[in-house]
Structure 1
Amino acid sequence: MFNWLQNFSDWLIYTIFNVGEDTHLGTALNFFVFDTLKILILLFIIVFFMGIVNAYFPIERLKNYLNKKKLYGLEYFFASIFGAITPFCSCSSVPLFIGFVQGGIPLGVTFSFLITSPLVNEVAVAMFIGMFGLKATIIYVVSGIILGTIAGWLLGKFNLEYLLSDWVKKILENKIQHREYAGEKRTFYQRIPEITKSAWDIVKGVIVYVIIGIAIGAAMHGYVPENFFNQYLGGGEWWTVPLAVILAVPMYANAAGIVPVIQVFVAKGVPLGTAIAFMMGTVGLSIPEATLLKKVMSLKLIAIFFSVVTICIIFSGYLFNLIL
């Protein structure tokens, strides 16, 4: 499907609109069309699937199990593992995050998934091995999973559910009321129209945020030059790691897309740890992601989430520079 979407984006921008493939505008518009279609399709599919899960899976039992059973942090670790094996960027992870919250999964555990999912994926791992070797790849994967586990655990300890948006709270209230008063048993085919309508309502609720967020990311992707970052991150001073993370936030790319850029950084003298911190900031913290999350979180919760993840990434960057 992604190959078809990419071919369609190329055809629409480069052939129909006749925008140059090597121009900043062409790169930005292609990125915008491809990611908008990709994320909206993923959003509907994931929310539809979670609607089926919520209809048939005893999600309340899982919720109660995670809340009451002493797993000693393993629930955060398992969520990070699941995030690592799902091929989503930060923005396309948000629909699954909505499904998790809607399903009643503890918020901290859901955050562990949201953090790790864009940081680690199989394509980036394969590229990392070829570009930086096995040792750097293992450190990258393990650190991404640990980062998601620790950050999710910290956020879970804050009990931040009250900072979810009113839109999410309304969804949860309607879901609970529906379960209380739905007495009849229906077949799967009888439930499909309701599940489809619910999924479409959620898509309509976030579509504006998706378009705004991707538009911001597309502009950054098409117009911010690589040399801008090499100029300020190549010295190896102590402040380059936090600066790398701060500069990464306005960017938007998935891990596989940013790995070649990181290779250029390293080739031009940027320490590998600083470069990896920049990559983690790009894929794990972005203005487009914050724009999407505004639909499901209050500004205070977004600020707390970004702050905790930023601190963890900066610490990881320093650690990478010491080890690598």
Structure 2
Amino acid sequence: MFDWIQNIADWFVYEVLNLDRGQHLAEALNFFIYDSTKILILLFVVIFFMGIVNSYFPIDKVKNYLSRKKLYGLEYLVASLFGVVTPFCSCSSVPLFIGFVRGGIPLGVTFSFLITSPLVNEVAIGLFVGLFGIKTTIIYVISGVLLGTVSGAILQKLKLESFLTPWVKEVLANAQRDQDIFQEEKQPFKQRLPIIWAEVIKILKGIIPYVLVGIAIGGLMHGYIPEGFFEKYMAKDNLFAVPIATILAIPMYSNASGILPVVQVLVAKGIPLGTAIAFMMGVVGLSLPEAMLLKKVMTLKLIAIFFGVVTLCIIISGYLFNSIL
């Protein structure tokens, strides 16, 4: 499907630049050109398509539904599934988190959305299919949704509302009074298209820098790091490889589309897929920038509990992934 991109990359690197095959710089540059072109095409197609879907699936309607309906525990799953169809990084999800709280949605349900939204969205799914195939993508999506669902349910059981900041507590106290009533605006597709296009451009501008940085890192790893380097420290028989990968990921920050090229190279270098995905989940779902933004709405104790629960669930997911694949 993408052979034509590989041909262009080969032509540019080996003929135009006249670099030798097998040379570190040549392999790194070839990887960067091929992956960046392929991923940017996938990004555009997927984001534009989901922009159309999201234009008919307003956030306010979901907020009102989740806050009014008794779903007998399924609200965590519903929130996680809603997170799947929102193409946001963890930092972009925080304003939506605040909006959910303002809508009177339980804190655990809001956490389910906050966890799943940056981790499993249509952008990541589209890239995952292109990089790892449908079977692995399905397992990843299911594990990501379950991660958000289970983590949200656990966090709700801990009754953590007292650890929210005073501003959020005031919002919660007035949630019923301030709840918005969603009124769907009937617009023909032709009128929606400029808005959809503007949103596509906005999302692309926010994502592309992370994608290019992620691909560049992946290219350097692909070209310069020898086979077996990572396998030595994170091999499948290393019992602590998954928690080490998860914890080391926390200081880093990227969105799912930006870190996927790095995951691809890690797997190519010998790291088990479950360990590599645990690393990815840690980078995307447990970033320090997200923690700094959450400080606006959570106390440090609540952030620590949130990160602790999610870290534990990610580690479990990594071990399950390694046992399945």
User: What range is the shorter-chain TM-score in?
Assistant: 0.5 to 0.7
How big is the shift at 1:151? 0.6
Tell me, yes or no, if structure 1 residue 63 matches structure 2 residue 63: no
Letter in 2 for 1:321: N
Contact 1:234–1:268 at 8 Å: present in 2 too? no
Tell me, yes or no, if structure 1 residue 266 matches structure 2 residue 267: yes
Match of 2:194 in 1: none
Tell me, yes or no, if structure 1 residue 296 matches structure 2 residue 297: yes
Match of 1:278 in 2: 279
Letter in 2 for 1:301: L
- The alignment of Structure 1 onto Structure 2 pairs a total of residues equal to 232
Match of 1:141 in 2: 141
Structure ranking higher in helix proportion: 1
Match of 1:165 in 2: 165
Contact 1:233–1:244 at 8 Å: present in 2 too? no
Match of 1:73 in 2: 73
Tell me, yes or no, if structure 1 residue 111 matches structure 2 residue 123: no
Q: CA RMSD in A?
A: 3.3
* 1:45-64 alignment runs, 5 A limit: 59=64, 63=67
Match of 1:125 in 2: 125
* TM-score for both structures, normalised by structure 1: 0.64
* 1:186-225 alignment runs, 5 A limit: none
- In 2, Cα distance between equivalents of 1:239 and 1:136: 23
How big is the shift at 1:267? 0.7
**Distance verdict in 2 for CA 1:62–1:147, change over 3 Å:** closer
Q: Structure 1, residues 285-305: CA drift from partner, whole Å, max 9, x if none?
A: 111111100110011111111
Q: Structure 1, residues 128-177: CA drift from partner, whole Å, max 9, x if none?
A: 11221111111000100011011101111111111111122234456677
**Distance verdict in 2 for CA 1:293–1:58, change over 3 Å:** closer
- In 1, Cα distance between equivalents of 2:252 and 2:174: 36
Q: Structure 1, residues 41-65: CA drift from partner, whole Å, max 9, x if none?
A: xxxxxxxx98xx59xx995x96354
Percent identity of equivalent pairs: 63
Contact 1:232–1:240 at 8 Å: present in 2 too? no
Unaligned runs of 5+ in 2: 1-28, 30-57, 180-209
* TM-score for both structures, normalised by structure 2: 0.64
- In 1, Cα distance between equivalents of 2:163 and 2:268: 43
SS at match of 1:276: helix
Match of 1:312 in 2: 313
How big is the shift at 1:266? 0.6
Unaligned runs of 5+ in 1: 1-21, 23-48, 180-216
